[in-house]
Amino acid sequence: MFIINRKLRQKGVAISLVACMLFLNSCEKQIHQEEEGQLQETDVIVTTAEETEAVRAVAPLGLNANVLPSIEGVTIDANAEELAPVNLTVGVINSVVRDLQQRLMDLGYMEYDEPTTYYGDATSKAIVHFQRQSGMSQDGITGVETWDAVMADTAPHYAVKLGFQGDDVAWIQDRLYNLGYLLNESDISGIFDEKTEAAVKKLQEINDLGIDGTVGQVTNNLLYSDEIKANVIAFGEQSELVKKYQERLIALGYLSGDADGNFGQGTQEAIKAFQSRNDQIVDGYLGAATRSAMDSSSAKPYAMRLGEQSDEVKNLQQLLAKYGYMAAEKASGYFGDLTKQAVIRFQENNGLTADGTAGAKTMGKLLSGDVKKYVAPSASTGRSSSSGGSSSSSSSSSGRSSSSSSSSSGASASYSGGGGATVSGSAGNLISIASSRIGCPYVYGAKGPGAFDCSGFVYWCLNQAGVGVSYMTSSGWRNPGRFKRVSFGELQAGDIIVVSGHVGICAGGGTVIDASSSNGRVVHRGLGNWWARNFKAGWRIFS
């Protein structure tokens, strides 16, 4: 392999073949030393035999992210010039990749993440997008010309415009379609054509942006922002179409009262609740995808579930406390692990499906006056007993009218995390679900189950674990509104960690599981200095 000097790369000066052989011999010596000892975690998750052999030539990754090789009997100068391939291609592992990834993140071509030494598919895709933006040959390979262009002060930031093609264009078109700016689903082609340009201009006009028809940083960020103004049926409108979907929301239990065709606050909140349970972007609009989901026979009905906070949850908790299923002082309005287990016990004792969610059947039973009270397990038998309850509740109904959806309780799940600690209960279930996705590819905008970006990964895992959470970007996770905030030092297994532009799931033992753009896949790695420096918030889901 032809080698170039890192510091002379921009001048294109080559290092001699002798230096190359010396470098390879050094790597071979390091391989033998690691084979004799125990290999530690690296910043690359190995899934193939070829990758295993490649990673053996890389030093173990410490929490300080130091990847300089430590060779017995040789003093390593941290300031010494490093060698790198002339062409960085998929599979290359070298310290210069970290610099490249950081630059691509700064320019908006990669999702912000902890840079690594691994040149994977996600890095290659980012280079393709850069090359497209720069009018270069789109091969995904970083040679001298591409490197110089990326590192130049005049390097262009990420943007998509007329004539561009790619999967990122298709993601943008899909969002424009569901916001009502593209009229037909067939317009989602992956080709930025005149229709797409006109749709972008309309979005920019309605949202008071500069009108140029290009999806740059500001327009791209707005697409998933809470401040986005759609071009579809929205708050304040009145029509027969609104009435039609109000009737559907009432039938599914998301809305109470009569359908009047007026798109008010109650209708908007009901739409958001529906979207959060049916794998939709939660924006409160009656976009094409939301209408299609409502029309589907598989639309999920309303039920209170893990992770929600409302007056209705507090009413549920008070009813559970009345019949002995939880302590009255725990009625906080937040549906946490204690509430979920109380609901499961109530459902088991009263002949209902024990799914830990509170829909119409569970609420109907609690309000019926024909409730079996909870009696604590006997010390001698270890079993609990139930007694009939004849008193009727004076609490008001939640106004919901549909059966609950099912979800796994995860009560018996456990996960053996880093440091030998075992995490049980819902947190263990969440980490087990997250662990099952390790190795899945990173794809920007993907929400699973086979591919993810960072926010899509957290969203999918939490919903699989039965936690009622809406889809949020990493910026949205800075203030989700209902979870308990914790500091970096307080993080524990099952918590959500938010850093600048990135989000992951704490797995215990000072580790995190996340969909990593820099690794190009879902990985399990250490919470090192990078995470501490870029830390924004931690959220306790299971309290």
SS (H, E, C) 417-462: CHHHCEEEHHHHHHHHHHHCCCCCEECCCCECCCCECHHHHHHHHH
**Segment 245-263, tens digit of pLDDT:** 999 999 999 998 899 999 9
Region 225-234: mean pLDDT is 80
Closest CA to 174 of 399, 444, 542: 444
Closest CA to 438 of 510, 492, 513, 536: 513
Q: Is a pLDDT exceeding 90 seen at residue 5? A: no
Q: How much of the chain exceeds pLDDT 90, in percent?
A: 50
The mean of the pLDDT values for the chain is 79
Q: Give me the half-sphere count of Cα atoms (radius 13 Å) on the Cβ side of residue 284.
A: 15
Residue 150, helix vs strand vs coil: helix
Closest CA to 245 of 229, 268, 265, 226: 268
**Segment 333-343, tens digit of pLDDT:** 888 888 999 99
- For residue 191, what are the β-bridge partners? 165
What is the pLDDT, as a whole number, of residue 10?
40
Long-range contacts (CB closer than 8 Å, 24 or more residues apart) made by 314-323: 315/395, 315/396, 315/398, 316/343, 316/358, 316/363, 316/366, 316/398, 317/342, 318/395, 319/366, 319/367, 319/393, 319/395, 320/346, 320/366, 322/393, 323/366, 323/371, 323/372, 323/373, 323/374, 323/389
In angstroms, how far apart are the furthest CA atoms of the chain?
90
What is the pLDDT, as a whole number, of residue 236?
83
DSSP 478: G
Q: Is a pLDDT exceeding 60 seen at residue 455? A: yes
Q: For residue 50, name the pLDDT band (cuts at 50, 70, 90).
A: very low
Instruction: Tell me the C-alpha to C-alpha distance, in Å, between residue 353 and each of 336, 362, 501.
Output: 19, 9, 40
Burial class (CB in 10 A: 0-12, 13-18, 19+), 326: buried
